[in-house]
């Protein structure tokens, strides 16, 4: 009884059928670029020149395009550049968290930049672009995780001035204080999304206590929120944010300095 072909064999067969200049895109290409926060895809998504007469069949999805990029080779396989592969995949995913995680990982692992994703999203097909567009807006605001993106969504409903994300805060003499998830510089107010899992290890718990001590010594108002509450109690979290921001605004602003990432 013949064995089922493995993934490399299926990719090779799909490329042979697709013909010259074909390349892998979508989830398989993203995996070949080294992204791993995604499941192994069932189908192989290929880009081919617009006039290529080849159709999708079985495990092979063929997309004809007038915007065929220059392929790069990963593990011996011609694949679309990371920004194109990631967005080709994201346009076919229906789960917002999965889209957001895919885009965030591609930027965090430096497979592509936010500018490349933004440019490709504006130039490429608009079909299936709603979720990646929404995810990209949060990333452009400076969020770096799903929890931070959830926090960003809550910030929008508070009516507060726009927060900055993942900036470095120091004392007036240059001593490091913290790198808060969100920061309101005009009132020196920090928001930290602190997971319970992070504090299961003593070293992590100790690091958080030391961070909070630095906040207190610097006179910074800080609000700590569990990630799960961003989804289970968003209205209450928004109210807590407004109250903490008001408390920060009532006292004189301490002498601390915010440093944006270079």
Q: What is the pLDDT of residue 199?
A: 40
Residue where a domain terminates, one of 82, 116, 140: 140
Q: If you compute the radius of gyration of the chain from its CA atoms, what whole number of angstroms results? A: 23
Which tens digit of pLDDT belongs to each residue from 109-136? Answer: 889 998 899 999 888 778 888 999 988 8
Full residue range of the structural domain in which residue 70 is found: 7-140
Which tens digit of pLDDT belongs to each residue from 66-80? Answer: 999 999 999 999 999
Residue where a domain terminates, one of 102, 118, 140: 140
Query: Could you tell me the two tokens for 21?
Result: 């200049």
Domain count, the chain: 2
- Check: pTM over 0.75? Answer yes or no: no
Same domain, 130 and 28: yes
Same domain, 168 and 129: no
Same domain, 121 and 155: no
Contact 66, 51 (CB under 8 A): no
Strand partners, 259: 168
Residue 83, in any domain of the structure: yes
Same domain, 25 and 126: yes
Query: What would the mean pLDDT of 74-101 be, rounded to a whole number?
Result: 93
List, in sequence order, the alpha helices (H) in the chain: 7-18, 26-32, 82-90, 96-108, 114-123, 130-140, 146-158, 202-218, 229-232, 234-250
Give 8: exposed, middle or buried? Use CB within 10 Å, 0-12, 13-18, 19+: exposed
- Mean of the per-residue pLDDT values of the chain: 89
Residue 123, in any domain of the structure: yes
pLDDT at 197 over 50: no
pLDDT at 198 over 50: no
Residue 69, in any domain of the structure: yes
């Amino acid at each position: 009884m013949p064995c089922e072909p493995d993934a490399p064999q299926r990719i090779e067969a799909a490329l042979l059928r697709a013909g010259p200049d074909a390349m892998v895109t979508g989830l398989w290409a993203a995996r070949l670029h080294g992204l791993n926060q995604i499941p192994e895809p069932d189908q192989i998504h290929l880009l081919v020149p617009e006039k290529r007469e080849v159709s999708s069949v079985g495990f092979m999805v063929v997309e004809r395009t007038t915007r065929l990029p220059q392929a790069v080779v990963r593990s011996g396989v011609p694949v679309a550049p990371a920004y194109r592969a990631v967005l080709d995949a994201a346009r076919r995913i229906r789960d917002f968290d999965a889209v957001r995680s895919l885009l965030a990982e591609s930027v965090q692992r430096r497979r592509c930049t936010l500018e490349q994703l933004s440019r490709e999203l504006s130039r490429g097909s608009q079909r299936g672009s709603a979720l990646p567009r929404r995810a990209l807006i949060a990333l452009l605001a400076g969020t770096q995780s799903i929890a931070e993106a959830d926090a960003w969504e809550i910030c929008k409903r508070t009516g507060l001035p726009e927060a900055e994300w993942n900036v470095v805060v120091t004392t007036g003499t240059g001593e490091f204080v913290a790198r808060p998830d969100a920061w309101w510089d005009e009132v020196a107010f920090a928001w930290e999304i602190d997971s319970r899992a992070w504090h299961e290890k003593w070293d992590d718990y100790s690091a958080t206590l030391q961070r909070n001590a630095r906040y207190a010594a610097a006179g910074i108002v800080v609000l700590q929120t569990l990630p799960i509450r961003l989804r289970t109690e968003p209205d209450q979290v928004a109210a807590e944010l407004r109250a903490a921001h008001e408390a920060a605004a009532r006292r004189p602003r301490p002498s601390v300095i915010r440093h944006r990432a270079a």
